[in-house]
A and B are shown apart, each in its own frame.
Chain A
Amino acid sequence: GDSVTQMEGPVTLSEEAFLTINCTYTATGYPSLFWYVQYPGEGLQLLLKATKADDKGSNKGFEATYRKETTSFHLEKGSVQVSDSAVYFCALSGGGYNKLIFGAGTRLAVHP
Chain B
Amino acid sequence: GAVVSQHPSRVICKSGTSVKIECRSLDFQATTMFWYRQFPKQSLMLMATSNEGSKATYEQGVEKDKFLINHASLTLSTLTVTSAHPEDSSFYICSAPEGQKNTEAFFGQGTRLTVV
Give the interface of A toward B (CB within 8 A).
32, 34, 36, 42-46, 49, 51, 89, 93, 95-105, 107
Contact = CB atoms under 8 A, between A and B. Distances in A.
B110 A102 contact: no
Contacts of B54: none
A100 B43 contact: no
Contacts, number: 60
Interface residues of B, number: 23
Nearest to B98: A98
Nearest to B111: A43
A34 B95 CA distance: 14
A48 B103 CA distance: 12
A43 B32 contact: no
A42 B110 contact: yes
A84 B41 CA distance: 18
